[in-house]
Structures are given as structure tokens and as C-alpha cells.
Amino acid sequence: MKKILILGASSGIGLALTRAMLQSKCRVVGCGRNIQKLKQIKTEFPENFDYQVLDIRQTDLLTENLKNAVSKLNGMDICIISSGVSSDTSELNWETEHNIIQTNVTGFSQAAVFAAHYFIKQQFGHLAGISSVAKYFGNPNPAYNASKAFEAIYLDGLRLRLERKGIYVSTILPGFVKTPMIERQKHMFWAAKPERAAQLILKALERKKRYIFVTRRWRLFSWILPPLPFSLLRKIF
Ligand SMILES: NC(=O)c1ccc[n+]([C@@H]2O[C@H](COP(=O)([O-])OP(=O)(O)OC[C@H]3O[C@@H](n4cnc5c(N)ncnc54)[C@H](OP(=O)(O)O)[C@@H]3O)[C@@H](O)[C@H]2O)c1
């Protein structure tokens, strides 16, 4: 029975991943702030699911909370970091930007380092982090896309360190997935349901893929966007 730690299990992609893994008889410990949602999963899967309430921004508590989570799991084969926030305003405001940086940059990297050390010690493991195709371009609300670029490059760096030790690192790059995070998004295309996203991610993790586009057609973004001149990007945004 695989033992999986998921940060951001209470909603969206993380929740769909949690459900799919529990249905395939894995043992899962899910993390997040929303205790009600975590309790709800526990009610559905009382035997194989447990949870750890944590706020990934609380740097002084995070490592201890993750240690508790892993002890509830009684080991860890896979760690998936799905927790994340985006901007809820079109204004450029520091509070929002700072929250994104604390969650997607500081919290993300602290959790990734925790998992890396754990896997190095036990000499196996698989770390997966959810970045985004937003990493390929800037956005007038800069923190979200910049944080996603940070996550992807951070995972690239960890992969260089860990793969030679037999530890896998996967970077998940979704386009649009219909979750609460993007429910107010007006212009959406190629949007996948979270269940479909979870299915694709789990299949790719099984195959130890380094880069996982969700859905696969979003790989096009990685080819088209980086060479676009600023003058054209300005027309799009
Ligand atoms: N949906 C998309 O179209 C899309 C596209 C590309 C990338 N992504 C990425 O996919 C990941 C999952 O997003 P989603 O769409 O599933 O969003 P979501 O439904 O809003 O879920 C976000 C998850 O992150 C957790 N989280 C947020 N802040 C946290 C904090 N301070 N401490 C602990 N957990 C925290 C939330 O749990 P609590 O509220 O319980 O804390 C929740 O479980 C994110 O990294 C997002 O950037 C999403």
C-alpha cells in the first residue's frame, strides 16, 4: 500500500488526487487549513485517510507539522505539493502579492526541502509539485506567474540533486482546471475537470514522468509563449 502525503488535499486538484488515490487503496495523509473539508474526506475514507491541519505560510511550525503528518502516515513514498493561491484582485496590491509569495514560494520550498531530506535519508521516494503553464509568461498581477516559475525551477534544481540518488521529482504543469481557484475566471479554454486532471497526473506519476502537462495539449504553451515579443504579449493582456 503506497503512502502518500498531499499538501492542499482539501480542495480542487489536491482533493481529486486524494480521492483517486484513496479509491486505488493508497494510504493518504492530507494537509490544509480547512479542517471541515479534511474531516469530510476522513468520513468518506475512515480507514486509509488521515489529515494534518497546517498553514504552509507558518514557517516556524511547518517542519514540525509535516513531521507529524508523516508519522500519521507511518512513512512516505510520495509527497505531492498541490497547495497554492492565486490573485483574487486585478489591483496590484502588496497584501495579495505577499500572500502568494509566502504560500507558493516560501511554503512550497520549505515543504519540498522537508520531503527531499526525508527521501534522501530513506534512499527512495517521489516528490511532485504543482506549478503551472503560467510559468511561461509574466502577468500584470506578477506574483502568481512568478511564483509558478519559481516552483518549476526549484523542482528542476532538486531533480539535479535527487535523481542521482534514485529519488524522482515531477513538475506538474496544468493549464486550466475547473477548481475553486479559477471559478471567477472569465476567459477559459481547454479546461479540464479536476477528476480528469487527477487521472492524468496519477498515470504520469506512475511512469515517473519529469514534466506532466495537464491536459497534454497545454505543452503547446511551452513552445509558443516563451519566444513571443513583449509587444504581442501586451496586446494579449
Ligand atoms: N485550477 C487551475 O486552473 C490551476 C492551473 C494551474 C496550476 N494550478 C495549481 O494547482 C494547485 C492546486 O490549485 P487548485 O486549482 O486545486 O486550487 P484550490 O481548489 O483553491 O485548492 C488550493 C489548495 O491549496 C491549499 N492552500 C492554500 N493556501 C494554503 C496555506 N496557506 N496552507 C496550506 N494549504 C493551503 C488549500 O487548502 P486550505 O484552504 O484548506 O488551506 C487547497 O487545498 C495550485 O498550486 C495552483 O496554483 C491550478
> Cell digits for 42?
476522513
> Cell digits for 17?
488526487
How many domains would you assign to the chain?
Answer: 1
> 148 falls in which pLDDT band (50, 70, 90)?
very high
Task: Pick from 17, 52, 83 the residue to mutate for probing ligand 1's pocket: most ligand atoms within 8 Å of its CB.
Answer: 83
DSSP bridge pairs for 51: 30
The residue assigned the cell 527531499 is 116
Cβ partners under 8 Å of residue 25, min gap 6:
1, 48
Q: What is the pLDDT of residue 90?
A: 87
> Cell digits for 59?
514557517
Phi, psi of 141 (to 5 degrees): -100, 90
Task: Tell me the helix, strand and coil percentages in the chain, rounded to 5.
Answer: 55, 15, 30
User: Where in the sequence is the domain holding 184, given as residue range(s)?
Assistant: 3-236
Q: Can you give the pTM of this predicted structure?
A: 0.97
Q: Are strands 27-32 and 3-7 parallel, antiparallel or unpaired?
A: parallel
**Each residue's pLDDT tens digit, 78-134:** 999 999 999 988 899 999 999 999 999 999 999 999 999 999 999 999 999 999 999
Q: Which amino acid is at 121?
A: K
Domain of 212: which CATH number?
3.40.50.720
Q: What is the pLDDT of residue 210?
A: 98
Query: Among residues 161, 187, 157, which one has the least CA distance to residue 175?
Result: 187
Asked if 50 and 6 count as a contact pair (C-beta separation under 8 A), the reply is no
Q: What is the pLDDT of residue 32?
A: 98
> Cell digits for 211?
514534466
The residue assigned the cell 506549478 is 131
Phi, psi of 152 (to 5 degrees): -65, -45
**Each residue's pLDDT tens digit, 29-85:** 999 999 999 999 999 999 999 999 999 999 999 999 999 999 999 999 999 999 999
Distance 117 CA to ligand 1 centre (A): 24
Distance 85 CA to ligand 1 centre (A): 5
Ligand 1 site: residues with CB under 6 angstroms? 8, 10-14, 32-34, 37, 54-57, 82-86, 103, 130, 132, 174, 176-177, 179-182
